[in-house]
Chain A
Amino acid sequence: MDFHLTKFQQDIFELVKDVSIKKLNDGNIFEDDDKQAFSREKWKSCAETDIFALSLEEQYGGMGESMLTMALAIQALGRYCNDEGLIFSACAHFCTCIVPIWQLGTEFLKEKYLPKLLTGEYIGGNGSTEADAGSDLSSMITKVTKDGNDYLLNGSKIFVTNGPIADVLILYGIHQDGIKLANISGFVVEKGFLGASVGQTFHKMGLRTSPLAEIILNDCRIPEENLLGRERFGIMGFNKSMYWERILMSAYHLGAMEQQFNIALDYSKKRKQFNTRIKDFQSVSNKLVEMRANIETSKWLLYNVCWKYDTGKVDLADASMVKLVVSNAKVKNSLDAVQIFGAYGYMKEYLVEKQLRDSIAATIYSGTSEIQKKIISENLENIDG
């Protein structure tokens, strides 16, 4: 394994850092968090770094870079941008919408949607989860039927990240005949398609600046050419995007943990009790040490899995492993950071209160920790590659 970063990788890290500091931390993040407010301005600035285009081939308007490059860029975002909701929305946009179209779409779909998605002019997302189908996607009940040359979708999807603001969503539905898992199809659905509407929105504990909603499908009409991949093989597309989602969300968490660590270290040096910097109490410094150990473990596991992906050695279990370890580390570190701040960590004066709320869903979305364990346990032989 080569630990050397290319000039391009260093440059993109610096660029994202710069834009984060200068443009993405504008405004009052605590107010935006309160109001669950998403900022178009910030979204544009984020997209202008070309972050969404890094890993795609040049023919689709991309830069032909690796998973590792993409991970480094997202890590920079996590480290320097204080709006985790925005980062989460960006990750969802890329991993759950761009990736499936890129990996499985026809040339027609790629040409039609990728350019606008890569520049951020379009916002994307996906809807797979339903009220009664979360971990078990095969039990979804959103119905697919054929009507002439069109498909019709009927049902509803919940917890759709970017749902209220999306221009394009990948939506999954199930055919009424045949066996369960080999019966799900994915579709590229535009905001303007008849029969798709935004339903209930949610009061989330964290990631509040990332809009989340239910999408209601009432005879939603989709032209045949917007089928994603092969009919009834939608789960394949879903699994493809899961590699990217589990790895890149971990990159965001790694960056966020670094940011949080610096804030906590700084506070522990400034806050005095008993005429002593609290950092000099071992009870406090031990927490800092454990936080750092979690960061280092996450970092090198992540880079290793990126390297495996880029060299074609990756298994689904690798992506699950990094997701399991890093999301767990993030929740732990966030709890420790609040503890180091005492009462000040319990309120919106420093970022650590928000970071804790933002972190807690990490062990749930993109497959819960239990599901990652299930995947790893079924692939224990494959991971030693």
Chain B
Amino acid sequence: MDRNFMDEVIEEARQFTEKEIRPFAGDFEQNEQVPRELINKMAKRKYLAAPFPEEYGGLGLDPLYYGYLTEEIGKGCASTRALMTVHTSLVGETLLKWGTKEQKERYLRPMASGEKIAAFALSEPEVGTDAGSVKTSYIKEGNKYILNGKKKWITFGNLADIFIIIASEGKNISAFIAERDFGGITTKPIKGMMAGRAAYIAEIEINNLEIPEENLLGKIGGGFTFICNTALDYGRYSVAWAATAVAGAAVEEMVTYARHRTQFDQKIYKFQTIREIIANATTKYLTSKALCINAGNLRIQGSDEKVFQTTLAKYYSSKIAMEVTTDAIQVFGGNGCTSEYPVERLFREAKIFEIIEGTSQIQQEIISRYALSNFYRKKAKAQ
């Protein structure tokens, strides 16, 4: 892919976000929805299919540039960016990788054009981290699968037309592509979320949902090992950039405020205490971005390390997004606690990254396992 072209896409996305998204993120939240017109505008610019090849209506961005794009949109509004995480990454890229030719033909183009919105339904009321124990059930009847159960926390679930649903049949876990039009799917918005209020987060009742057999995604029994793991890897990559974006936005806000605000006859950026906050926040943001860029490059190369480095980037970026947004509120003082300034929203948005796509505790598990095998000095004697 041509770098100049991709650079242009990113520059345009920056301007687009500054003009169409960032000033309105607070309004989206108040109205509890990312407006449909905005989704259409993004679709028109092919952002909803940014990493898809052109034949499916995409922009054909490589993983690194798709990351840059996620950062730009993510600086504007986390709910809007969440659409790309679930629709484009979790569902779109997973379909690209595991879908049959027919499935890709049927779903990717309407997803690219924004005509159909997609969501990923794994979590349940009783099942979060332990995703291998999903209770939503399926059985085969003739040339159909019948699904029953409940899903929870499904981002863009209340708007979506297409769902990847993970279900179990006792020993086998499988993945299915469902359409709202099949019937048997009822969605209900989840109110009272700390943030992501504009992201149509929903609870889903699945009641005798009939899925034609050609809508099995991947193989029977491959729902967890292949589909979920692939989807969550794409999801983690997207979230790593999303968290970096929120940290970046918080740094921009705190620096701008510190240069405007005067106390004790000085701009507050002149106080060493504030300089310390800015220096630490900037270091964290840029370190986090470097980890994301590294993960992006490894994904381009198809390196064996790509999944691990993506996990690392997600763990670090979500941790520092929380720290940096907390510090941004601190720099804003009392103003930081009101909705008149964006940092209180950024703070609420940041908390989510330590929970979704695997909690930080699970990333610690994975990272420590990696260290225990890779950094072990076999020949060295224990003292």
Chain A residues close to B by CB (< 8 Å): 30, 34, 129, 132-136, 138-139, 158-159, 202-206, 273-274, 281, 283-284, 331, 335, 338-339, 342-343, 345-349, 353, 356-357, 360-361, 363-365, 368-370, 373-374
Residue B192 interfacial (CB < 8 Å) = yes
Contacting pair A364 B361 (CB below 8 A):
no
Residue of B nearest to A345 (CB): B355
B329 contacts A364, CB within 8 Å? yes
Does A135 lie within 8 Å of B333, measured CB to CB? yes
Known: A30-B192, A369-B330. 15 other contacts (CB 8 A): A135-B333, A136-B264, A139-B262, A158-B334, A202-B339, A203-B340, A204-B338, A283-B364, A331-B326, A343-B356, A347-B190, A348-B191, A349-B192, A360-B329, A364-B337
Which size bracket describes the interface of B in this complex? 35 or more
Are A364 and B336 in contact (CB-based, < 8 A)? yes
Which of B152, B190, B329, B351 touches A356 (beta carbons < 8 Å)? B351
Residues of the A chain whose Cβ atoms lie less than 8 Å from the Cβ of B130: 273-274
Give me the 6 closest cross-chain CB pairs, A-B, nearest first: A348-B192, A283-B361, A273-B130, A203-B339, A136-B263, A205-B344
Among B326, B330, B344, contact of A368 (Cβ-Cβ < 8 Å): B330
User: Which chain B residues lie closer than 8 Å to A346 at the CB level?
Assistant: 193-196, 351-352, 355
Complex Cα–Cα for A161 and B261 (A) = 22
B321 CB to closest chain A CB (Å) equals 12
A133 neighbours in B (Cβ, 8 Å): 263
| Residues from chain A with Cβ under 8 Å of B271 in the complex | 370
- A-side contacts of B129, CB under 8 Å: 273-274, 342
**B195-225 to A contact mask, C-beta < 8 Å, 1/0:** 1100000000000000000000000000000
Q: A281-B361, A364-B330 are in contact. Are A342 and B337 (CB under 8 A)?
A: no
Q: Are B334 and A364 in contact (CB under 8 A)?
A: yes
Interface string of B346-367 (1 = CB under 8 A from A): 0110011011100111001100
Nearest chain B residue, comparing its CB with the CB of A30: B192
CB contacts (< 8 Å) of B356 on chain A: these are: 343
Cβ of A368: which chain B residues have Cβ within 8 Å of it? 330, 333
Interface SS majority for chain B:
mixed
A129 (CB) vs chain B CBs: closest residue = B334
Cβ 8 A contact of A202, one of B193, B263, B273, B338: B338
B359–A342 touching, CB < 8 Å: yes
Contacts of B265 in A (CB 8 A): 136, 139
CB nearest neighbor in A for B337? A361
Q: Please report which residues of chain B, range 66-111, place their CB below 8 angstroms from some CB of chain A when the two chains form the complex.
A: none
Does B123 sit at the interface, judged by CB under 8 A? Answer: yes
Q: Does B153 count as interface, using CB distance less than 8 angstroms?
A: yes
Of the candidates A30, A206, A364, A374, the one whose C-beta lies within 8 Å of that of B333 is A364
> Which residues from chain B sit less than 8 Å from chain A, CB to CB?
123, 127-130, 133, 152-153, 190-196, 262-265, 271, 273-274, 322, 326, 329-330, 333-334, 336-340, 344, 347-348, 351-352, 354-356, 359-361, 364-365
The answer to whether B334 and A134 touch across the interface, beta carbons within 8 angstroms, is: yes
Chain B residues within an 8 Å CB radius of A129? 334
CB <8 Å contact, B348 and A205: yes
Q: Point out the residues of chain B lying under 8 angstroms from A370, CB to CB.
A: 271, 273-274, 330
Contact of A343 among B128, B195, B334 (CB under 8 A): B128
Of chain A, the residue at the smallest CB distance from B126 is: A272
Question: Given A134, A347, A365, which contacts B194 in the complex, CB threshold below 8 Å?
Answer: A347
CA distance A274 to B359 in the complex (A): 14
Partner of A284, one of B190, B348, B361: B361
A-B contact pairs, 15 of them (CB 8 A): A203-B340, A339-B355, A342-B129, A343-B356, A346-B196, A347-B193, A348-B192, A349-B192, A360-B329, A360-B337, A364-B330, A364-B337, A370-B274, A370-B330, A374-B273
A134-B193 contact in complex given A202-B340, A339-B359, A346-B355, C-beta closer than 8 Å: no
Selected contact of B354 from candidates A34, A274, A339, A356, CB within 8 Å: A339
**Nearest neighbor of B362 in chain A, beta-carbon distance:** A283
With A339-B355, A346-B193 as known contacts, state yes or no: A360 contacts B123, CB within 8 Å.
no
Task: Give the chain B neighbours of A339 by CB distance below 8 A.
Answer: 354-355, 359-361
Q: Which residue of A lies closest to B329 (CB)?
A: A360
Contact B128 A273 (CB under 8 A): yes
Is A365 in contact with B334, judged by CB distance below 8 angstroms?
Answer: yes
Pick the contact of A360: B128, B152, B195, B326 (CB < 8 A). Answer: B326
Looking at the assembled complex, report how far the CB atom of A334 sits from the nearest CB atom of chain B, in whole angstroms.
10
